[in-house]
Amino acid sequence: MTAENPEPTDGDEQLLRNVAGQARERAADEPLSTDSLAETIGFNVRALRQQHGLSVSEMAERIGLSKAMLSKVENAQTSSSLSTLGLLARGLDVPVTSLFRGADTEREAVYTAAGNGPMITRNGTKAGHAYELLGALRGQHKRLESLLVTLSQDSDAYPLFQHPGTEFIYLLEGVMEYGHGISTYRLAPGDTLQFDGEAPHGPTGLLELPIRFLSIIAFPDNTYH
């Protein structure tokens, strides 16, 4: 199943694919990064083609390449000549340099060893409520906040949070009641809750302590927190 032929084959009905990205098989002894330039060009060509709403066949006809050659470019199976890059850039209506975007940039990743994330204070933090930041990227990727929340002490009142964006909670340990707007959900280990952060939300009852859960918040663009 591809972006150009979305009809599922046998056994594909339950398979989800991210057509905006790319994937390929890698041998066990192959390093993660091989021909990074070809892969970068292929990724950018595919993404730009899909932005234009064109299939591989339509794009190939538009720029004067064979469908097989365009497919090889997108899948990093060939090194593009200067003339091919020129055809691709003109067909996609972008500068040639756009096809190399990301080739000379080291992509950021943050590793946090177990128990070593910095402890942070949130609005409404109480005794026995601990928030461990599991990692934070910089720049535009700072839109995602990942926390390990531990509630080890009950209290008479619980904080209610409100923030832009979407939050996802995965309960690891304990049992709690969690409110969102006018609704209340009982969460046990393995339960999840995903919700709009604009509504007031937070624990409303700590039923079995200690409670530990992952909280992942995706903030909208241009949101600072």
DSSP letter (8 states) at residue 21:
S
- Provide the pLDDT confidence category of residue 124 given band limits of 50, 70 and 90: low
Average pLDDT, the chain: 82
Is residue 94 scored above 60 in pLDDT? yes
Rounded to an integer, the average pLDDT of 78-86 is: 87
104 vs 143, which has greater pLDDT? 143
Rounded to an integer, the average pLDDT of 80-92 is: 88
Q: Are 160 and 124 in contact (CB under 8 A)?
A: yes
Q: Which domains does the chain have, with CATH numbers?
A: 1-107 (1.10.260.40), 119-218 (2.60.120.10)
pTM over 0.75: no
Of 90-104, 160-174, 176-190, minimum mean pLDDT range: 90-104
Interval 32-64: pLDDT, tens: 554 567 888 888 898 889 888 889 999 999 889
pLDDT at 96: 87
What are the CA-CA distances from residue 36 to residues 18, 33, 95, 112 (Å)?
A: 20, 6, 20, 26
Interval 126-150: pLDDT, tens: 767 888 999 877 766 678 889 999 9
What are the CA-CA distances from residue 99 to residues 24, 38, 64, 108, 134 (Å)?
A: 20, 10, 18, 20, 34
DSSP letter (8 states) at residue 161:
B
pLDDT at 1: 40
Of 2-6, 78-82, 196-200, minimum mean pLDDT range: 2-6
**Cα separation of 114 and 75, whole Å?**
37
What are the CA-CA distances from residue 163 to residues 96, 97, 195, 199, 219 (Å)?
A: 41, 38, 11, 8, 8
> Rounded to 5, what percent of the chain is helix, strand, coil?
25, 25, 50
Is residue 173 scored above 80 in pLDDT? yes
**Cα separation of 3 and 93, whole Å?**
21
